Homo-oligomer: A and B are copies of this chain.
Amino acid sequence: MKILIVGLGLIGGSYAEGLSLKGYEVYGIDKDSNAVQYALKNGFIKKSSYTKDELIQMMDVIVLAIYPQAILEFLRNNQSNFRKGQLITDVCGVKSSFVNKATLLANPAIYLSHHPMAGKEKIGIAFADYKIFKNANFLITPLSNTPIEAIKILDQFARDLEFGKISIMSPVRHDEMIGFTSQLTHAIAVSLVNSDHDKDTVNFIGDSYRDLTRIAMINEKLWSELFLENKNALLNHIEAFEEQLNILKNALKLDDQEKLNELFKTSTQIRKKMEKCEN
C-alpha cells in the first residue's frame, strides 16, 4: 500500500517512521526541504523522482499532517489529482469545522478524518518517534455515508502504529469531547502559568506543578487555530470548569471542610477509574 504523508512534522514524521517500519511504501512532502531530507536520511520515507502531482495520483492513502486551516487549502489546490479508490485523511485535533467541506473537495477520493491522541511539547520531525503512539487513544470520525472500507484502513493503521483503544464517533461528538480532554487542559495550563507573578517559583515546584504545566509549552500557531475552530465546545467546557472551581472556592471561604472532603472524594473516584487505562 502506497502512502503519502503531507507535512513531515512531529506527527507526520512519526507516522512515516512507524508505517515504513511496518512495511508500507511511504512517501512524504513538506514545504521545508530540511524536513524532507531528515525523513529520507532516517529511512522514514522512500526516495522518488516523481512530481508532487504524480505522487498524489499514485497514492492509495494520503495523510494530511498539517494545520487545520491548511487542510482545505491543500484539497483545493490538488483536487484535480485525486482519484476514485483513494483515501484521504488528516490527523487534526478538531473535526466539525471542515470535514464536510473536505469530503466534497476530496471527491472522487474518499475523505475520512481521524485523530491520534499523542504528541510531545516539541515541534518538528527531529522529535519524531512512532513510539509516542503506543497505547494512545485513536479516534476515527466518519460521516454517515463513509464507506466501511475506509474505516478498516485507518483501523489497520492504528493497529500497525500500536495505538491502544480505537474509537469511532461523529465529528461533532469528537469535538465536544476533545474540547474537554485536550483544549480545556491546555487552556488551564496556559492560564496557570500566566498567573505566575513570582521570579522564584521554580524553587517551590514539585511534580504536581510540573505535570500540570508541561503543556503550557504550546505551539501557538497550531493551538490558536484548534481553539478557534472548536470555540463553542471549548467555551462551554471552560464555563463548566469555572463552576466547579467556584464550588471549591466557596467551600474554602466558608471553612466547609466537609464539602472539600466531598469534592476530593468525588475527583479521586472519577479519576481512579481512568487508571487502568494508563500505559
Contact = CB atoms under 8 A, between A and B. Distances in A.
Interface stretch (A37-45, A74-82, A142-150, A183-191): A183-191
A278 interface: yes
Interface string A243-279: 1110111001101010011011111101111110110
A156 interface: no
A139 interface: yes
A277 B206 CA distance: 11
Contact of A224 (B139, B218, B260, B267): B260
14 contacts: A118-B207, A136-B206, A180-B195, A185-B212, A196-B270, A201-B274, A202-B273, A220-B261, A223-B260, A228-B255, A228-B257, A235-B253, A238-B245, A238-B248
A204 B166 CA distance: 10
A130 interface: no
Interface in A154-190: 165, 167, 174, 177-178, 180-182, 184-190
A32 interface: no
Main secondary structure of the interface of A (DSSP, over half): helix
Interface string A221-240: 10111011001001101101
Nearest to A178: B204
A220 B272 CA distance: 14
Interface in A111-154: 117-119, 136-137, 139
Contacts of A206: 117-119, 136-137, 181-182
A186 B248 CA distance: 11
B214 A185 contact: no
Contacts of A267: 189-191, 193-194, 213, 216-218
Contact of A252 (B214, B231, B244, B247): B231
A217 B271 contact: yes
Contact of A208 (B177, B186, B210): B186
B213 A201 contact: no
A275 to B, nearest CB: 8
A94 to B, nearest CB: 13
A198 interface: yes
A248 to B, nearest CB: 6
Contacts of A58: none
A111 to B, nearest CB: 22
A205 interface: yes
